[in-house]
Structure 1
Amino acid sequence: MKKVLFLLFLPIMTFGQVAVADFVHLEKDADNDYHTLEQIWEPFHLQEIKEGKKVGWAVWKFDKTPEMDKAPDYLVFNFFKDENQLKSYQDNFDWEMARKKIESLNKRKFSKATLRNIFNKKIKNEVRQYTIKLIDQTVRAGGEVKIGDKLSFGAMKQLNDDYENYELNVFMPMWEKQLLNGKIKQWSFTKVINKNEVALDKTHMTFIINNNANPNDVEFISSNKWLNDKIIEHGLNSREFVSAEATLIYTSY
């Protein structure tokens, strides 16, 4: 059996932790400016983590998205140890203080004119924001998440009361088998606990790191194909589902 490391999700989401997930749709031809923007914010995030104000930050670039109006270009995570830390962070965030801190942290890399130019530009067309809480996940195999790792993302709308049970009791065991077969790095299941006004009507999200699996390779009940297929069919019918693929480009780890 392959060595399994007991490391956790995206890159350190543990039980009780929450994450703010921003799905960012850019203005036309704003990609270069967006990278500059994230590079400007990066030392600020690292300092906030060092000061214990949050626990992590990561940016994923979408490689493949569903056909939709204003499909996201980037997915940005900010991780907090619990809902109380998130609330404290949001209640106490002051843009003017943050701006001064960013200027100080970037004084050897970016001029004040560059910072002012980037902050005054309209780079983001729309941000769909979701606050998510971890429900359950597999262990992580193969070490820390690193730049270049791939993410398979699923956004669900729950259709009946059995949905979470299907994820935890049918699909999670199937993904655990894929992990032990070396086909994925980790699978995680989260619930949306808050969202902004422009966010879509989604209730849950799943994340699979380095997904090289074929779901048809693993059966839930291998001894009874008919029953296996029926259970999976009912599980799939318990939610609406859209998927996307992304690559990790910035992280605090």
Structure 2
Amino acid sequence: MTVILLRHGRSTSNTAHTLAGRSEGVDLDDKGREQALGVVARMGDLPVKAIVRSPLLRCERTVEPLADALGLNPVVDDRLIEVDYGQWTGRKIGDLVKEPLWAVVQQQPSAAVFPEGEGLANVQARAVSAIREHDRRLGMEHGGDALWVACTHGDVIKAVLADALGVHLDGFQRITADPASMSVIRYTPVRPFVLHVNHTGADLTSALVPKPAETAADGAVGASDAVVGGSTE
């Protein structure tokens, strides 16, 4: 099973340099709407079987063109919602960097709990659980292999990628997930394989052309048969 982690397009909060969190009504800006339309072309003819999204408006808007093009009804999963930033919600990033907690978020995010909000460790637990659960479900529905899209938020995507990479949550700030970027994980019975991170190129199709499988000397299938070629743009 392969999941494309799609971050929502650029939002009005992104351009205002505020922390949107779970604020209602935060929509895409003009650039974000262009990015949402561009997702369809970037997917090309990839055989996407399902779309799962965060309940927030900016994710709904991002997947609308893709869902229409594919004739799919996105599934809403609350576990893919943005971080509950609590009292930080809606505040300017420039002000938040002065808070003592900011350094914890950057240097030891596993210990960060937002005031009257949630901890980043909880975010990772709920998001990874959701992704793996949908991955298993879709595998059963589609005979063991399918490509699907999960549209969610930057910190959520970074937390899922850290888990797939086997990186401690304290290292997740080393990962980038730009607006409308796509990161790709293939889950196998052995381990997850991270195929792309923060792909922002024009065509994801060419980046998902499989390399020929190689066989390890001991007769077992090598890791390369689970790795998909193409460079991240």
The alignment's TM-score, normalised by the length of structure 2, stands at 0.25
Q: Which has the higher helix share?
A: 2
Bigger-Rg structure (1/2): 1
The alignment's TM-score, normalised by the length of structure 1, stands at 0.23
Q: Which has the higher strand share?
A: 1
Structure possessing the higher relative contact order (Cα contacts under 8 Å, 6 or more residues apart): 1
